[in-house]
Structure 1
């Protein structure tokens, strides 16, 4: 996840600040994700009203609140064993 310069704006912002204040100030800022982009306003807007006490609080909330486009391949784990009735990936020989 990349905040594309918004991180500096968030660091300089005066806290405490509500999600509404941050949306008004930076809502159109784009967050780059693994499979697309999302606006800061969209992420904070769907999480409801919250008061942030620091830029770190905002960053933590953004990391937890971004959509599924942030994770790359959904439901993928090369560490999990196949479930019952599932063969799993074909084995490759090098």
Structure 2
């Protein structure tokens, strides 16, 4: 399942709901990430023992708790500002 599908799964649950209730209902679902997989249980446990009042809160917790498997190159960003006093890196063409 993708993160978008996990969002839809969380949207379908009745709130307020605790992390434990969400894990009991949907924890065994496997989320496909760019660099591997994680279960929804692993992600929600990382977010802590919370009670969510809305699907929006549960989604925010899920996105905040996915591991580094969800990102591309670690410690890399082409959005970092250029250091003052420099012209920045030369553009690369792929």
Q: Which moved more, 1:7-16 or 1:53-62?
A: 7-16
Q: Following TM superposition, by how much is the alpha carbon of 1:12 offset from its aligned partner in structure 2, in angstroms?
A: 2.0
Q: Following TM superposition, by how much is the alpha carbon of 1:78 offset from its aligned partner in structure 2, in angstroms?
A: 2.7
Structure 1 stretches lacking a partner, 5+ long: 84-88
TM-score for both structures, normalised by structure 1: 0.75
Between the two proteins, the alignment pairs up a number of residues equal to 89
CA contact (8 A) 2:30 2:39 kept: yes
Q: Following TM superposition, by how much is the alpha carbon of 1:11 offset from its aligned partner in structure 2, in angstroms?
A: 1.6
Coordinate RMSD, CA, aligned: 2.8
The aligned residue for residue 10 of structure 2 is 10
Going from structure 1 to structure 2, the CA distance change for 1:93 and 1:68 (only over 3 Å counts) comes to closer
Going from structure 1 to structure 2, the CA distance change for 1:39 and 1:78 (only over 3 Å counts) comes to same
Structure 2 stretches lacking a partner, 5+ long: 84-88
The aligned residue for residue 86 of structure 2 is none
Going from structure 1 to structure 2, the CA distance change for 1:92 and 1:48 (only over 3 Å counts) comes to closer
Using the alignment, how far apart are the partners of 1:64 and 1:75 within structure 2?
Answer: 17
Using the alignment, how far apart are the partners of 1:8 and 1:79 within structure 2?
Answer: 30
The aligned residue for residue 68 of structure 1 is 68
The aligned residue for residue 59 of structure 1 is 59
TM-score for both structures, normalised by structure 2: 0.75
